[in-house]
């Protein structure tokens, strides 16, 4: 066994070491809670007005926070600072903390003529400055996040986050649509390759933390549909490495894993991740949020940390009293 393989083996073993037993007073059964998942909205000024109503209605329930799976503008809207700032102001109207991951319409696809022919890497950096400039989620209530940028080697990846709530670990990754920004042109695919490393490390650390602390579940938020159904793509599949790593980590994890994403604009709840033998991994569930133009509905997830089935997934709709 060479040095690098031995080191990786030792790190994996250390990550699985149990934490010291907690005193009896600290072994408090976590309280049930709920959170909301939305994404792929708003895609126009009219949808922005509707999202404001949705946020007002969500504020009336007791959900702990809102997860937004990216795409806060359409692909044909400009990627200009003015629009991004307006959408940030809208998301900040949420009463609950709101956690956003970047979507392809905000940076990957900004090279399009309709979007203003921006440089995608420059737009991603601007997103980091606008939306991820401190250690807190968006929204009126404060929720402190741990950002990957706290790691010296990954200072730029402020959008990759995690936080723990009632013994459930939540993780956000920058994994956008448009084939994860994989570029088919010759030469080094720098942005994709560097972010691939950052995402792999962040995801590995999250699962190691959840396993070490014996957490019953982990929730993962990304923007892209990672192509579980293996729809043919031309050239390199930009989500192949993510799916392979996720399969390994979920197979080794004792708890439940909930993946939330957008991108396809098709709400679905299923178990598409399979093990090496091609059988579904029963501790993994995928939830795709509603998206434009069907934005008057959203997903609400009840979490019961002490139960065998941790997650209860339901849908909500804008009430008729809020036309």
20 is a domain residue: no
Residues 256-275 have pLDDT tens digits of 999 999 999 999 999 999 99
Residue 27 scores a pLDDT above 80: no
Q: What is the pLDDT of residue 235?
A: 78
Model pLDDT, residue 22:
38
Q: Full-prediction pTM beyond 0.85?
A: yes
Torsion of the alpha carbons at 3, 6, 7 and 8, rounded to the nearest 10: 120
Q: How confident is the model at residue 186 (pLDDT cuts 50, 70, 90)?
A: low
Question: Which stretch of 25-29, 112-116, 216-220, 275-279 has the lowest confidence by average pLDDT?
Answer: 25-29
* Residue 161 covered by a domain: yes
So what's the pLDDT on residue 42? Answer: 98
Q: Would residue 231 count as lying in a domain?
A: yes
What's the pLDDT band for 316 if we cut at 50, 70, 90?
A: very high
Check: CB of residue 63 under 8 Å from CB of residue 99. Answer: no
Count the domains in the chain.
1
Read off the pLDDT of residues 76-97 as tens digits, 9 standing for 90 and up: 999 999 999 999 999 999 999 9
Which pLDDT does position 184 carry in this prediction?
Answer: 79
Residue 17 lies in a domain: no
How high is the pLDDT of residue 185? 73
Q: What is the pLDDT of residue 118?
A: 97
**Range of weakest confidence among 2-11, 98-107, 147-156, 232-241:** 2-11
What mean pLDDT is reported for the chain? 90
Instruction: Report yes or no on 12 lying in a domain.
Output: no
For 93-119, the pLDDT digits (tens) are 999 999 999 999 999 999 999 999 999
CATH of the domain at 39: 3.60.21.10
Confidence of residue 188 (pLDDT cuts 50, 70, 90): confident
DSSP 8-state symbol, 136: B
Are 91 and 100 spatial neighbours (Cβ–Cβ below 8 Å)? yes
Tell whether the torsion through CA atoms of 195, 132, 175 and 255 is positive or negative.
positive
Containing structural domain, residue 33:
28-317
Task: For residue 145, give the 3-state DSSP assignment.
Answer: coil
Whether residue 85 lies inside any domain: the answer is yes
Q: What pLDDT band is residue 132 in, cutting at 50, 70 and 90?
A: very high
Q: Is the pLDDT score of 11 beyond 50?
A: no
Residues paired with 170 in a beta bridge: 163, 219
Give per-residue pLDDT as tens, 272-289: 999 989 999 999 999 999
66: in domain: yes
Checking if the pLDDT of 17 tops 70, the result is: no
Residue 10 domain-assigned (yes or no): no
Measure the CA–CA gap between 45 and 51, rounded to whole angstroms: 10
C-alpha 77: how far from chain center: 23
Report helix, strand or coil for 37.
Answer: strand
């Amino acid at each position: 066994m060479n040095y690098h393989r031995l080191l990786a083996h030792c790190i994996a073993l250390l990550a699985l070491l149990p934490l010291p037993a907690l005193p009896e007073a600290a072994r408090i059964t976590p309280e049930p809670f709920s959170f909301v998942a939305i994404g792929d909205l708003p895609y126009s000024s009219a949808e922005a007005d509707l999202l404001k109503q949705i946020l007002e209605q969500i504020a009336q329930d007791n959900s702990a926070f809102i997860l937004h799976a990216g795409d806060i503008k359409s692909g044909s809207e400009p990627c200009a600072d003015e629009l991004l700032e307006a959408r940030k102001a809208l998301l900040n109207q949420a009463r609950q903390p709101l956690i956003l991951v970047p979507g392809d319409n905000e940076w990957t696809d900004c090279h399009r003529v309709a979007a203003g022919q921006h440089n995608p890497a420059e737009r991603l950096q601007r997103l980091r400055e606008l939306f991820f400039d401190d250690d807190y989620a968006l929204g009126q209530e404060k929720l402190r996040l741990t950002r990957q940028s706290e790691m010296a080697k990954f200072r730029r990846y402020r959008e990759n986050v995690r936080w723990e709530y009632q013994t459930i670990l939540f993780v956000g990754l920058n994994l956008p649509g448009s084939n994860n920004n994989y570029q088919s042109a010759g030469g080094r695919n720098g942005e994709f390759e560097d972010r691939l490393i950052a995402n792999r490390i962040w995801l590995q650390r999250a699962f190691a933390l959840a396993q070490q602390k014996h957490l019953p579940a982990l929730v993962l938020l990304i923007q892209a549909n990672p192509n579980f159904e293996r729809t043919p793509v031309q050239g390199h599949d930009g989500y192949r490495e993510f799916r392979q790593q996720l399969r390994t980590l979920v197979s080794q994890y004792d708890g439940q894993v909930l993946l939330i994403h957008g991108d396809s604009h098709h709400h679905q709840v299923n178990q598409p991740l399979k093990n090496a033998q091609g059988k579904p991994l029963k501790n993994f569930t995928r939830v795709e949020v509603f998206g434009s133009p069907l934005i008057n509905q959203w997903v609400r997830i009840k979490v019961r940390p002490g139960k065998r089935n941790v997650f209860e997934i339901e849908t909500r709709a804008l009430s008729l009293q809020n036309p």
